[in-house]
Amino acid sequence: MRVLVYSDDAATREKVREALGRRPAADVPLVEIVECATHAKVVQHFDSGLIDVAVLDGEAKPAGGMGVARQAKDEVHDCPPICLLIARRDDRWLAEWSRAEAVVAQPVDPVLLAETVADLMRRRLSTRLTAH
C-alpha cells in the first residue's frame, strides 16, 4: 500500500518513515512510502488515485497539513484516509475541521503512529473490499 508522507521538514518525513518501517503491523500489507515536501506534489499524488493512506504535517509551510487535508476531502474522489501530525493540543479542533480520520501529536511516538496508520490501512482495505 502506498502511504504519502507530507512535510516540508525532511527530519519529520524521516521520523514518520522510520516509525512505519516496511509494515506498521503484522496484519497489513507492506508499505511504499511516497514522500512529498510541497503542496503541489501532494495534489499530484492524490489526483493519481494511487495513494492509500496519507500522513500530513500540520506544521508544514507554506501549506499546512490541515488545509491540505480539508482540500483533499473536498476535491479528491475516494480520498484516502488521512492522519494529521499536530504540534499543539489546541490544534485538535482544526484537525476535526480538516476532516482527517486520525490525529497524532508531535513529537511523534513511533508505536502510536504505526498503530494509527495500520488502522487507517485496514479501513482503506475494508472500503475497497466492500466497493467491489
Q: Omega before 24 cis (within 30°)? A: no
List the end-to-end C-alpha distance of the chain, in Å, as a whole number: 17
Which range among 20-24, 36-40, 92-96, 103-107 shows the weakest confidence by mean pLDDT?
A: 92-96
- pLDDT tens digits for range 47-84: 999 999 999 999 999 999 999 999 999 999 999 999 99
pTM: 0.95
**Rounded to whole angstroms, how far apart are CA atoms 84 and 86?**
6
At the fourth CATH level, the homologous superfamily of domain 2-131 is Response regulator (3.40.50.2300)
